[in-house]
Amino acid sequence: AQSVTQLGSHVSVSEGALVLLRCNYSSSVPPYLFWYVQYPNQGLQLLLKYTTGATLVKGINGFEAEFKKSETSFHLTKPSAHMSDAAEYFCAVTVLSGSARQLTFGSGTQLTVLP
Amino acid sequence: DAGVIQSPRHEVTEMGQEVTLRCKPISGHDYLFWYRQTMMRGLELLIYFNNNVPIDDSGMPEDRFSAKMPNASFSTLKIQPSEPRDSAVYFCASTGGIGYGYTFGSGTRLTVV
């Protein structure tokens, strides 16, 4: 079965600083990887995804992530944090194998942006 | 498209009562998922459907929980009888293909007192 590990349950950055949220995955077959964002009292919103092809993927709100197979990682970055980026971020994985289609989520990283 | 619609947004009920949560997926999406989110356990998959058929219900905590999808545009998650430990946010999500990711509803915050 596949899984993801998010390193750091809480990350704080200053406004304008680089955002780096870490995600490592485990999968015996090629994975599909996703990042979601959750604002308070809201559902999860898809930020970006990697399925096949280009390993550097760009998403909404200036976020991007790079799939590194050799490191089994899919870290999320943004060059310059904005106050509105404060939220919880979830990494998720699935595979196209058998009949299973469910996403497995990491435990989440709470991002705080300091003025 | 209105997105995935869940109702109610908030539900407060007394222990022992029956609770029914509702979900309308995006039209054309043939997968529907029910997740539960708590501080202690994070996001847990309860059950998912493909073309209205339950595929994997191994995440359903116990027999008190049941889910149905009578047609492509409606699903329910029922808890009977409810217990305080069922208090959580319950999310419904749908997708037309896993490569597209899921679209989540806004969730139902359930409080059992």
* C-beta atoms of B101 and A46 within 8 A: yes
Q: How far is B42 from chain A (nearest CA, A)?
A: 6
Distance between CA B110 and CA B33 in Å, rounded?
Answer: 18
Give the pLDDT confidence score for residue B76 in this predicted structure: 98
Q: Which of A34, A44, A99 best probes binding to B when mutated, by most B CB atoms within 10 angstroms?
A: A44
Give the pLDDT confidence score for residue A100 in this predicted structure: 61
On whether the CB atoms of residues B76 and B13 are closer than 8 A, the answer is no
Residues 60-79 of B with CB under 8 A from A: none
Average pLDDT over chain A, rounded to whole?
Answer: 92
Give the pLDDT confidence score for residue B3 in this predicted structure: 93
Helix (H, G, I), strand (E, B) or coil at A35: strand
- The letter for the amino acid at A3 is S
Give the pLDDT confidence score for residue B45 in this predicted structure: 92
For the segment B75-102, what is each residue's pLDDT rounded down to a tens digit?
Answer: 999 999 999 999 999 999 999 887 778 9
Give me the mean pLDDT over the B46-74 stretch: 94
Q: In the β-sheet with B19-24, what is the strand arrangement from edge to edge?
A: B5-7, B19-24, B74-79, B65-71
pLDDT < 70 positions in chain A: 97-100
